[in-house]
Amino acid sequence: MMEDRLAPIQDVDQISFPGEEEKVLQLWKDINVFQNCLKQSKDKPRFTFYDGPPFATGLPHYGHILAGTIKDVVTRYAHQTGHHVERRFGWDTHGLPVEYEIDKTHNIRGPKDVEALGIDKYNKLCREIVMRYASDWERIITRFGRWIDFRNDYKTLYPWYMESIWWIFSQLYEKGLVYRGVKVMPFSTACSTPLSNFEAGQNYKDTQDPSVVVLFPVMNTKSSIGDEEAALVAWTTTPWTLPSNLALCVNPDLDYVKVRGKTEERKGVYILMEARLQQLFKNPSEDCEVLARYKGKQLEGTQYVSLFNYFEEYGSRGAFRVLCDGYVSAESGTGIVHQAPYFGEDDFRVCLRYGIITKDQRPLCPVDEAGCFTDEVQHFQGLHVKEADPEIIKHLRSVGRLVSSERVNHSYPFCWRSDTPLIYRAVPSWFVRVQHMQDKLLEANAQTYWVPNFIKEKRFANWLRDARDWAISRNRYWGTPIPLWTSQDMEEVVCVSSIAELERLSGEKVTDIHRDSIDHITIPSKRPGHPPLRRISEVFDCWFESGSMPYAQVHYPFENKTQFEECFPADFIAEGIDQTRGWFYTLLVISTALYGRPPFKNLIVNGLVLAADGQKMSKRKKNYPDPVEVVDRYGADALRLYLTNSPAVRGENLRFKEEEVKALLKEVFIPWLNAYRYFGQQVERLEKDEGIVFQYEESNLLPRNVMDRWILSFTQSLLAFVRKEMKAYRLYTVTPRLVKFVDNLTNWYVRFNRKRLKGDLGTSECQDSLATLYNVLLTMVRVMSPFTPFITETMYQNLKRVLRRDSELRGDSVHYLMVPEPQLAMISERTEAAVATLQSVVELGRYLRDKLNCPIKYPLPEVVVIQKEERVLKDVLELESYIKEELNVRTVTTSTDKGKYGVALKAEINFKLLGARLKEDVKQVQQAVAALKDDEITSALSSGTLDVLGHTISAEELVIKYAFSGDKAEELSSKYQAHSDASVLILLDTTPSQEMLWEGLAREVVNRVQKLKKKGRLVPTDEVTVWYSVTDSTGELQQVIDCHLDYIQTATRAPLRPLDARPLGCQLVIEDDSPKKKIKEATLELVITKGFVGGFSTGSSNAAAGSSRSSAGVSLACPWVNVVYEGTSRRGTPSAVAGTLLLENPSGSPTLLTAAQLVAEARCLYGFPKDSVEAVVDGSPLTGVTALAGKTVHIVPRGRAAVPRPSNGPAASYMNLSLKNGRVASVLLENPAGSGVSSPYDILSVTAKLTGSTPTSVCLYGDEQRTKRVRVESNEDVGALAGKTCYC
């Protein structure tokens, strides 16, 4: 049945990754995968996850996508490791983001405009836009593959959510943690509301502001510096605060001076800090004369002339004098700070301490909520404070109080919503006490686990140590109202904890608790004769709402009480680093205040995603690509893996580069897909050529080949690593390891095992390698599915077809499967280390070939592997055949003695990397490194670092060179090129023979043919003929083709014939229309036609070999039978071809016991369909194998008569083996006849099985004394063995 076979897999360059992902999305929708996952896991242990609510007033950006991907990977993984993970999406629907949009679109400039419109209408407008982009969010987030429940969401505007906030607030109120006070706070004039300190810290920007130096003339008082000539000099970057000046402040312990200016522009007498004279004078020693020196404490109480007369009455309270406080520094300004107590935190504190203002007085704050001066400041009434700056400067200049004015660049806080500059302004607010529980917050923080940890221990812990009381009230409208009903004199306060309580106290039915629904509700006073209590006007800060989400999202404690308490705190949360002063902080404060413990156990903090140039991403600047467009080009999987493999998952910033997403597609996804496609092609070939339908049985997976054992071991090690690291939430270690695994699978396992996978080494090897590759692919899609959910689903939907129908791994979606447990018994550290050494040798050899511009197609004589451990060299020899093939070398030599080859390491420093760091020590370090001995360099390479003259230098900062010494230094240096890494040193012999050069040219021909086949979209099983033409028919290239015809035809799986012999009527597939690239000064023209030409693989070289076999040599040592197939072969041979089967091997050991076994072996030779033929011997059906020796069995398609053929000896070429135990055996060299001799590796593999050894350790000898070794390195060597006896 077709569903039990792999579906054809498209060529990778024809696949649209985004298109395939759309198909997967439709599949998930059709079978409701996400909800089914939740149903399947409902009785499993719970893994609790809190999703921080975003605002829906804008579209998702890269920050949302990064955090969302991290959340999705972790929660998918939790589900696929046996947990039930409820994933509910949340929306932050209240507060400034929504109100600011309404204010902009309806030209609302302040509270008066809202009152004129009506709170009910204003809130209605807010409600209408609050979910403006909700459908876009759902579409985009779903497209990125994130699974989260949008139907069962929570919104902060739901009355049941708001009711839980009331309950939380009431708990804090009952604990005495809520109070009302006046405090100087960051204030957004655009939004007419105060902000908390952590909100103000979210959006600092470099900006230009005016910088003014102002004169404050000293009054002739009893002060020790009384001097009507002198003036105190103060500096400020907020001129708009000067109308509210009530004092000046100096540092009591620092030095101040009275100076007389000597320049035209500075002729007066000034008092300022001595360390800040440069604020007034370019060259203080020449431009002024010091008249007196004072400690700051001596200036205390000095009176000065006020700038304005707006608040002269405060003079009786001690205003317009010099005060002292240690916060004044010598870092900037003049060392004298002007004090406007209701516009600066320190100003407020200092003036309060000196009694100039009091806590309970009416704030002296002549700036309204829109940031405009009130009528108390007549000169600038109605002007916004920032607009008033130039007018104030102009006024000061006109009255002679301005010393200087300029503009300075500095970092300044902006409103995170309106992106306008904040001011600091005293406002009455409701606070939650936080300062008193700093130790408890730190203790709760210590109970949590953060990735990366340094953000928890440094940034967040430092913020907690300086935690201030939290202003939770906002003078706004669209938010959760603070549930306090008070009397006018504030003597009576009722904190309402629920809707039911409000209904009981007020006697009114309540359905909604927004301001427009409850502001009119009153509660009778308990004091006789007093008016009813009314609700205060403020609403909650939206951060209080989001910090309450663990409780409010389940309407705790009114519903789901047991469910919440069993799952609190959350197992996992994740957001960006900007939330350390936002959501992470508010979650912890509320949880600690309520329960004294943290609200979460584990937290991943991601860094910020910046534009490619390191700037903040800006829609206005258009300095980043739209994330949806990136997905439309490369797919969501590529972007997901790019983000989770970036510095951002380590809490660092990521410079987003689209080209890196594209590169990841090429480096990971396309190779991965190619390995999967190659598997599919070989499964198809197995069925087509050999009639075997591949079905995977894990119980049958018994890896015998070292590369099978390696990739299976590496896979299981990966599983163990992933489980360990995911348990620690270290995505930044897991993702690179997964990417490395893809590289090992595609560039090492598949590459090294192509012959086995293609069936070139026999059916058994083919099936073993396919089973191994399938196991790895299936394991890989299971472990990668949380990270790349789309491509894994695509592969799984096809891979599952070859599983048994009753297999527990055969389901509707890969996401129903659990991430497999590692099978520790399959892990072999020795095997992994051996292959790692192999990889080192190969990569070093490739490097040297690239360096010498010596293509891998050209054979080289030898590679020498030098390592001091014999065990490592033994591993190398066991993998010798892979090194030979991959580096295309004839011989692999191993040695523990570097000195034997006269090679020594020399080191130099990398000036580019070390020059700037070492500075003046660079020359001494250079000399010391140059003097290092070989063993010291080897040790440094092994440890990774080197200490030189007090400097630690990494191995990467060294340039390693190799030198040959001794009597043969010149000879060795001309013969070998050396290179090493931390584990091994290799010497590559780069002096090829003419024979090797010809073999390289033959490989170039193969390469040209394979490229043309790929261009024609041909697959290995397609039957085609390649026609060629060489411009010089007697030149070297033609000789190479003649000499290596068998190799070229075997490698390309197609007959190669002269173009001028091409018959008419051949159906053209493709011809090489590219520019004629020359090979050895000759032009090679190639044409491919459909179908095999007659006489495939019966070229002159094989014919010659056949004739020699029939006329010379020894007889076949083992009993044999010829097998003639009279149908049309699928394997490139003409009809009526003959082959040979051995009845015993070694002689006396039967190999074929039944007629059925004989037919099965014949099917392996010719590839005919199963049950489609009859076997006939001597004109009668074959019933057994006795008395068959020397006869011919005819394999004929059913219904066709056999054509009798005489048997003149074995049809196949052979050699005999004389074994050490005295027995004789045989090896067939070419079977069927005319198909081309087997490869050297094949011959050595068969010999190894007969002798009980390995292919790499087999040695053949031409004499009985076993002194003359027989070379078996090329097809020509194999052909030369025909009819001979070898000894082993």
Instruction: Name 1122's bridge partners.
Output: 1140, 1192
d(CA 688, CA 691): 6
| 834 class by beta-carbon count within 10 Å (0-12 exposed, 13-18 middle, 19+ buried) | buried
pLDDT digits (tens, 9 = 90+) for 142-154: 999 999 999 888 9
DSSP run (H or E) holding 37? helix 33-40
**Cβ neighbours of residue 387 under 8 Å, at least 6 residues apart?**
none
Contact, 1155 vs 1183, CB < 8 A? yes
**DSSP, res 1133:** -
Q: Is the dihedral of CA 345, 351, 354, 360 positive or negative?
A: negative
Token output for 240: 């708009």
The beta-strand segments (E) located in 667-772 are: none
**Interior angle at CA 527, CA 526 and CA 532, nearest 5:** 70
Q: How far is CA 854 from the centre of its chain?
A: 35
DSSP string, 224-284: TT--TTEEEEEEES-GGGGGG--EEEE-TTSEEEEEEE-SSS--SEEEEEGGGGGGT-SSH
With a cut of 50, which residues of the chain have pLDDT below it?
Answer: 1, 1095, 1097-1112, 1130-1135
Token output for 424: 């600091």
d(CA 268, CA 248): 20
d(CA 495, CA 381): 39
d(CA 14, CA 330): 68
The residue behind tokens 């070859």 is 802
Q: How many contiguous H segments (helices) and E segments (strands) does the chain have?
A: 46, 47
Strands 88-91 and 149-155: parallel
d(CA 1142, CA 1144): 5
User: For the CA atoms of the chain, what is the radius of gyration?
Assistant: 43
Token output for 571: 């197992």
What are the angstrom distances between the C-alpha of 273 and each of 251, 319, 484, 1231?
A: 9, 21, 50, 102
Q: What is the pLDDT of residue 1129?
A: 54
Contact, 516 vs 120, CB < 8 A? yes
Rounded-to-5 percentages of helix, strand, coil across the chain: 40, 20, 35
**Cβ neighbours of residue 1037 under 8 Å, at least 6 residues apart?**
1001, 1005, 1030, 1079, 1080, 1082, 1084
Contact, 518 vs 510, CB < 8 A? yes
The residue behind tokens 């003259």 is 949
**Interior angle at CA 705, CA 701 and CA 706, nearest 5:** 115
Q: How far is CA 723 from the centre of its chain?
A: 17
DSSP run (H or E) holding 947? strand 945-948
d(CA 1126, CA 1137): 7
Contact, 884 vs 876, CB < 8 A? no
Token output for 844: 């070093």
Token output for 269: 């007498």
| 553 class by beta-carbon count within 10 Å (0-12 exposed, 13-18 middle, 19+ buried) | buried
Edge to edge, the sheet with strand 1180-1181 lists 1137-1142, 1120-1125, 1192-1197, 1173-1177, 1180-1181
Check whether the bond before 452 is cis (ω within 30° of 0): yes
Q: How far is CA 149 from the centre of its chain?
A: 25
3-class secondary structure, 813:
coil
**Helices 1045-1052, 1100-1111: inter-axial angle, 10-degree rounding:** 110
Token output for 224: 């020790």
Q: What is the pLDDT of residue 197?
A: 64
**Number of other CB atoms surrounding residue 301 within 10 Å:** 16
Token output for 76: 């998918």
Contact, 783 vs 821, CB < 8 A? no
* Residue 599, amino acid: P
Contact, 1145 vs 1250, CB < 8 A? yes
What are the angstrom distances between the C-alpha of 139 and each of 144, 269, 568, 905, 1207?
A: 9, 70, 31, 60, 74
Q: How far apart are the first and last CA of the chain?
A: 49
d(CA 691, CA 684): 10
For the annotated catalytic residues, the residue numbers are 53, 92, 543, 579, 583, 616, 619
Q: What are phi and psi of 1192, to 5 degrees?
A: -120, 125
Token output for 622: 């258009």
Q: Model pTM?
A: 0.71
* Residue 545, amino acid: E
* Residue 185, amino acid: M
